[in-house]
């Protein structure tokens, strides 16, 4: 396909979230943690979601986060054939301090979003892109939350996030 010229690389896990050590921070600059993002996504809407994540963490929540891109069958490319995603997704599982996967229940807060990787993304707040885990799975082709019991998965993956 064609070349997408207006994209820059954006972090999936932001550098600002890994500042405990220089080594932790440097790992965020590996290409496995980056992919092409429009500036309107990276600097506006995605950034606002990252700020929300940080506020949850400051409230002593334990966050489990997965993020990635959603690609067309023949995506546009930049540079030496780097595929450009048509959208980015993120799934945030919000638990209490010290909790882990065993603590996930049908009432656990889960925040899944899919944001278009195009200039229009900045016209709406990040919460407008809230969806369900089932929808992220459908668009990405991945199976998420597989360590959670099937009965719990069935409930929390179908629920569209309500952002408060």
Supply the residues annotated as catalytic.
Answer: 11
Q: Kindly write down the DSSP assignment for every residue of 84-139, as one continuous string.
A: PPSEEEEEEEEEETT--GGG--TT-EEEEEEEESSGGGGGS-GGGGB--HHHHHHH
How many residues are listed for the chain in this entry?
164
Question: CB–CB of 102/118 below 8 Å?
Answer: no
Q: Among 119, 123, 63, 61, which residue's Cα sits nearest to residue 90?
A: 63
């Amino acid at each position: 396909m064609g070349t997408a010229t207006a994209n820059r690389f954006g972090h999936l896990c932001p550098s600002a979230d890994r500042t405990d050590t220089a080594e932790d921070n440097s790992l965020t600059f590996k290409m496995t943690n980056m992919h092409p993002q429009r500036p309107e996504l990276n600097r506006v809407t995605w950034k606002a979601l990252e700020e929300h994540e940080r506020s949850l963490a400051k409230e002593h929540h334990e966050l489990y986060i997965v993020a990635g891109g959603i690609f067309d069958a023949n995506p546009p490319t930049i540079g030496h054939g780097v595929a450009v995603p048509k959208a980015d997704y993120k799934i945030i599982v919000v638990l209490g301090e010290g909790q882990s996967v065993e603590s996930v229940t049908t009432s656990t807060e889960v925040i899944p979003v899919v944001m278009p990787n195009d200039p229009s993304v900045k016209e709406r707040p990040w919460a407008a892109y809230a969806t369900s885990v089932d929808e992220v799975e459908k668009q990405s082709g991945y199976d998420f939350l597989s360590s959670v019991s099937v009965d719990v998965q069935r409930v929390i993956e179908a629920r569209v996030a309500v952002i408060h």
